[in-house]
């Protein structure tokens, strides 16, 4: 390693930046409250993992600890600085967060998408990831399957959820729309999704799997 890398240092919080397009939610939920209580009592024991980027440090692992540190006005955080390129950083960031308990479906979906894109860039022979069609990228999924122990078709279905508009994704995260109907709705155009979402709001209903499949068929005919 180069000098100054892979060593433990204290870094001012103003020089720590969240990972670009960080796909995980940072809010004061029950787990975050437990982390806050632990940090109040014990301080930040586990160092953050960061990499040097431009004039600051980009967080690879430890966003939740930084979130709590900002609330508690902790100015210096223990960090291990590692040397990583962009692809290595994406893979490390996703892997360090994906195994947390109770992560949202949307978080898992965007995490898998980021990881599949990074893996695809490692091997140009892999099929281009296309989450807008039914031609799923099984080669990338089989590769990630070896790492995450997820069924490859399931991984691609998660990635399909990233096609949903934010309002529908919020219904998925709140469990008002089940996983399978949500995956079927992800094939609809953005315009159709907005219409469907407005109907859901007015009638306070969400679709069953059979209804979502019918909507998908209707959308195909219209396009």
Range of the domain at 205: 102-222
Say if residue 116 is in the same domain as residue 144.
yes
Tell me which residue has tokens 């893996």: 119
Displacement of CA 68 from its chain's centroid (Å): 20
- Evaluate whether residue 2 is within a structural domain: no
CA-to-CA dists, residue 157 to 22, 106, 170, angstroms: 20, 12, 17
Of 91, 126, 144, the one marking the end of a domain is 91
Say if residue 139 is in the same domain as residue 214.
yes
- Evaluate whether residue 71 is within a structural domain: yes
- Evaluate whether residue 96 is within a structural domain: no
- Evaluate whether residue 3 is within a structural domain: no
**Can you give the CATH number for the domain in which 145 is found?**
1.10.10.2830
Say if residue 142 is in the same domain as residue 55.
no
How many angstroms separate the CA atoms of 138 and 128, rounded? Answer: 10
Beta-sheet strand order (sheet of 76-81): 8-12, 76-81, 48-53, 56-61, 16-17
Q: In sequence order, which residues have a C-beta less than 8 Å from that of residue 183 and are 6 or more positions away?
A: 157, 160, 161
How many angstroms separate the CA atoms of 110 and 90, rounded? Answer: 12
Q: In sequence order, which residues have a C-beta less than 8 Å from that of residue 33 and are 6 or more positions away?
A: none
Say if residue 85 is in the same domain as residue 189.
no
Of 71, 91, 111, the one marking the end of a domain is 91
- pTM equals 0.70
- Output the tens digit of pLDDT for each of the chain's 223 residues: 444 467 789 999 999 999 988 888 888 888 899 999 999 999 999 999 999 988 899 999 999 999 999 999 999 999 999 988 888 888 888 888 877 767 889 998 998 888 888 877 655 444 444 434 344 344 455 445 544 555 566 778 888 999 999 999 999 998 888 888 998 899 888 888 998 888 887 776 677 677 777 777 766 655 5
Half-sphere exposure of 62 (CA within 13 A, CB side): 25
In terms of Cα–Cα distance, which of 206, 169, 160, 166 is closest to 187? Answer: 160
């Amino acid at each position: 390693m180069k000098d100054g890398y892979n060593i433990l240092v204290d870094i001012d919080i103003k020089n720590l930046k969240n990972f670009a397009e960080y796909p995980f939610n940072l809010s004061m939920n029950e787990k975050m409250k437990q982390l806050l209580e632990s940090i109040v009592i014990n301080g930040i024991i586990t160092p953050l993992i960061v990499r040097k980027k431009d004039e600051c440090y980009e967080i690879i692992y430890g966003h939740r600890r930084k979130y709590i540190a900002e609330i508690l006005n902790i100015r210096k955080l223990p960090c291990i600085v590692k040397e990583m390129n962009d692809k290595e950083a994406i893979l490390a960031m996703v892997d360090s967060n994906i195994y947390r308990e109770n992560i949202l479906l949307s978080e898992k979906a965007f995490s898998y998408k980021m990881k599949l894109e990074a893996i695809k860039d490692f091997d140009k022979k892999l099929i281009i990831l296309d989450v807008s069609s039914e031609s799923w990228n099984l080669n990338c999924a089989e590769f990630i399957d070896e790492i995450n122990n997820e069924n490859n078709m399931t991984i691609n279905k998660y990635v399909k959820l990233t096609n949903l508009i934010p309002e529908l994704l919020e219904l998925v995260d709140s469990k008002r729309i089940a996983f399978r109907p949500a995956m079927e709705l992800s094939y609809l155009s953005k315009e159709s999704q907005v219409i469907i979402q407005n109907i859901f709001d007015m009638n306070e209903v969400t679709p069953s799997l059979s209804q979502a499949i019918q909507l998908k068929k209707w959308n195909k005919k219209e396009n």
